[in-house]
Every structure is written in C-alpha cells, then in structure tokens.
Amino acid sequence: MKQNNILTALLGIVVGVLVTLVVSKALEPKRKFDGDYNRWRKLNLILQEVQKNYVDTIDMESMTDAAVTAALAELDPHSVYLPPVELTESETELAGNFEGIGITFNVPEDTAIVLSTIPGGPSEKAGLMQGDRIVRVGERTIAGTKTPQDSMIRLMKGPAGTKVKITVNRGGTLIPFDIVRDKIPVHCIDAAFMIDGTTGYIKLTKFTRTTYKEFREASEKLMEQGMTRLVFDLRNNTGGYFDQSLMLSNEFLAKGDDIVYMEGLHRDRQEYDADGRGSLKDIELSVLIDDGTASSSEIFAGAIQDNDRGVIVGRRSFGKGLVQEPVNFTDGSGIRLTVARFYTPSGRCIQKPYDKDYAYDIYERYAHGEMTSADSIKVDTNAVYYTVKGRRVYGGGGIIPDIFVPMDTTKATKFYINANKKATAMRFASTMSDKYRGTLSQISDFGSLSAYLDDIDLEAQFLDYASRVDGLKPKEGEWEETKPYMMPQIKGLVGRFSQVGEEAFYRFYLPIDDTIQAALSNPGRVE
C-alpha cells in the first residue's frame, strides 16, 4: 500500500506543459493516447514522446528529476525530491556527526576565519588555531575569490581517513597543514549555563540524532548547580527528528499527558503520550519561540502549552506541521513525502495554510505589523481549542505565545544599521582575535573574559575601526543611543574567540534580549 501511494504522488500530477509536440497534418495525422489520470500514465507518455521526437539530445535523468520536482511541488511546500548530493547533505545535517576536518568558521570578508577547532578533532591535532585565515583547500584558493560558503564546506568535508591540505594565513605567514579527515560530532546545543542561582538557560539549535542525549547531559549539569527553573530557547530552531522532540517533551510531562498526534488520509491516527519517567517534571519552564521556530520545535512548544506545563514566550512560530516520510532510491536520490499532519494535544493543527502566499508568509507578518503588535496576529477565531486548565488557544497555524514580545525596532539607529550592512562588528571581532589571540585563547571562564574585554577598551577601538576602515561615524548623541545595544553584541563576537566559545555571545547578549528578560519577569508556570 505504501509503495502504491508513493507512486501515485510521484506520477500523478504534471505542472504545466514540459514540451509541446507539433506535427504537421501533411506529415502525420494527429495521434491520440489514453491520458487517463486514474492510471497515472500521462507523465510517462509525455516523457516517452519527448525522448522519441524532440529536436535535440535529451538528458533524460535531469528531465525526469525536473518532472518529479514539479509534480511534488503541486502537493505541498514540504514534499520534495532530493537528488543524491542534496539527500546526503540533508541526512548529514541531522545525523549528529559528519566526516571532515572539525572546525567552525565564518566568512566576514570573503575569507574563512576559524572560530574554533573541535576538541580532539583532526584540525586541533594538526595545529589549526582560532583566528587562522584559510587561504587554500588542496590546490584551490578560497580566500578573496568569492567562493560560496557551502562550496568551502564541501571542499573541507570528505570520507574519514582521506587527507586534505589546508593552507592558512597566521599573522602574515602562510602555513600548510596536512589534515586527515575523521568523523566529527555536530552539537545541537549552542549554550547551557546558569543565569542566576536557580535559573538555567539552554539554547537548542536543531533536533538531531544526538539532541536528547546532549540535552540530558546539559540539564543534569545545571541541576547539579541548583537549577529549579529553565529558560529553554527554541528560537530559530527549524526542527529535525520527530522522536527527539517526543523524548524532550517526555522529560517535562506527567504520565499520561498527551504530547502530539498525527493523522492523514492514508495514515491512521497515532497518539503519543508521556510515560512519567522524565527527570524535569518539577522544573519551572519558560519556552522561547519566534517565527523561525518550526516542526519538532513546535511539537514541543504545543505539548507544553496545551498541558499548561510551562509558559511560551516570544512571537508566533513558523507553522510547519506536516509529517514527511523518507523514501530513498537505489541511485542515491530520495523523496520526502507528506503523509500526515501534526496536531497538538488540544487538537490544533500546527501547519499554517499553504496557499499562494506561503513562501512570503514571514514577510507578510512584518507588513501587517504582527512582529510589533500582538493584536495584529492572524488568529482563526473559528478554530478555538482549550488547554488542560481550560485556557483558550487558537488554530490557524503555528503556536501563539502566552506572552508576546514585540520586535524592538527603536534600538536600530542609522549608525547601527549601516554598521550591520557592512558587517563592521564581525570584521572588527576578527581583527581583535588577531591582535589579542595569545590572551583570548587562554581564557576559559566568562568572568575573566568580561573583565579582560573591559580592560582593552573595546568601545574606543571599535569606534576607531568603524571610522577608519568603513568610514562610519555616529552623529552627535547617536552613539550614546546605540552603545547599550551594540556593545554587548561586539563583546560577544570577540568573546567567541576565547575558550568560552559560542556561550560567550549568549551571555553578553542576555541583558539586552527582550524575550529572555520577559521570560525572567514572569513565572515559568501557568497560574
């Protein structure tokens, strides 16, 4: 039955006319064929006609791929065909590990700059360091050549055991490193630390195969430090593996609490509930979401909200609630076919409508004022549902937060906007990493890092850099308005080059993060 359904989805719909075959009546009478859609023959017949009669040579592989891609596009936004390369990359991203050289980097000025080397990984063992500028991968120069970042990644990745030469610029000296690729763990938790004596913070970026394991390890460490309340940040978490979301939900819910159910035309309703063995059932919980929170993240947020287990803070989530079933083919390609929809415990469908404006939905939210006003959120008042305690919640797509936090546009001065356009702060941070590499690379705790960055007067150095390098100078009174918002970000960007790593950015940014502050100002429980 499953295979028949897949065949139906693949061959049943044709978008537009791929080729129009015109034959003169003088040469040949019009031919008719059975175009019965119920037998899904039309697409094959069209492709056969193209192959037999088209004026030029046809690449049937790409032609077939194009037809399948177009057919799936007619179904919904998330049923997709993935050629071999894209399928491999998609699976690698969520697998929790990949094979490569083991670094994180950014590209502020057309040059890849090493942010960190993964401890115990090939690059660290070979001697690469924070702040190294990657000039060449193998014989290909990637610095100053406008090489796309995804191309850089592909060049560095490769099967474990293979060797690649990485040439870096370190302090003006070119240094070649022969690095043997290996399996590299991909972490999904960017930061986990105590905000105060009782409140922990965890930033989760995606749901990979290792998410539950990483989350348990992080939460246990915070519990040992006295955590009785958790601020769980799912902003811009686009989702991933469904089972990981179930296991995380289970950590917080009581036995028998509903988590989610799924249902489709050819899929019977499947319900999932908690087994009561979670270790965080008594922890006060605030969940942060925004328009980038999608899929598995929304399943978690919906389960917490409908069970009145915690408080959802931020802005309406993306609204991706379609269940994709993977089907892989022997040529290395595959499809991700939507077979069901996700529903929260109260019965809300997470998926937003996928009409002609689906791709522009987020832009529409900006245009209609939803990002700055809770009253502008599009609520389907005909789709009213109720939480366990009887609170009213609405359908229509996405999870609407219990506490709305508007996007604050008042902090964006002209100087700030212009500096962002030129990536001035990020490029400045790279310059600081070169200048203070020796000391920064030795700092491993946030307190010491904060004190050190104050001592070197980053503020004066940044203003000098912005003026001298980018010709940016704040107008009278403008820096005083910009400084409280911009300097924590600059400190965070520079701090990433210390051993504190990504956590430094979140710690410095915390005091000016309106969503976190709103979470801290309100109880993490439903009264």
Q: Is 211 a residue whose pLDDT tops 70?
A: yes
pLDDT at 310: 98
Percent of the chain's residues with pLDDT above 90? 51
Q: 35 or 503: which carries more pLDDT confidence?
A: 503
Q: What is the CATH number of domain 97-185?
A: 2.30.42.10
pLDDT at 34: 52
* Closest alpha carbon to 313 in 218, 406, 193: 406
Whole-angstrom Cα distance, residue 315 to residue 109? 33
Mean pLDDT of all residues belonging to the chain: 86
- Which fold does the domain 189-407 belong to in CATH? 2-enoyl-CoA Hydratase; Chain A, domain 1 (3.90.226)
Q: 200 or 428: which carries more pLDDT confidence?
A: 200
pLDDT at 351: 93
How many CA atoms, within 13 angstroms, populate the side-chain half-sphere of residue 212? 17
Q: 17-26, 103-112, 464-473: which range is least confident on average? A: 17-26
* Closest alpha carbon to 61 in 331, 335, 336: 331
Q: 452 or 408: which carries more pLDDT confidence?
A: 452
Q: Which amino acid is at 284?
A: E
Q: In this predicted model, what pLDDT tens digit does every residue of 143-167 receive, in sequence order?
A: 988 888 878 888 888 888 899 999 9
Q: Which of 21-30, 102-111, 232-241 has the highest mean pLDDT?
A: 232-241
What dihedral angle (degrees, nearest 10) is formed by the CA atoms of 92, 342, 515, 231?
Answer: -70
One DSSP character per residue, 114-182 reads: EEEE-TTSHHHHHT--TTPEEEEETTEE-TTTT--HHHHHHHH---TT-EEEEEEEETTEEEEEEEE-E
pLDDT at 91: 62
Q: 363 or 317: which carries more pLDDT confidence?
A: 317
Mean pLDDT across 418-432: 86
Q: Is 16 a residue whose pLDDT tops 60?
A: no
Angle of CA points 234, 497, 122, to nearest 5° = 90
Q: In this predicted model, what pLDDT tens digit does every residue of 320-350 receive, in sequence order?
A: 999 988 888 888 888 889 999 999 999 999 9
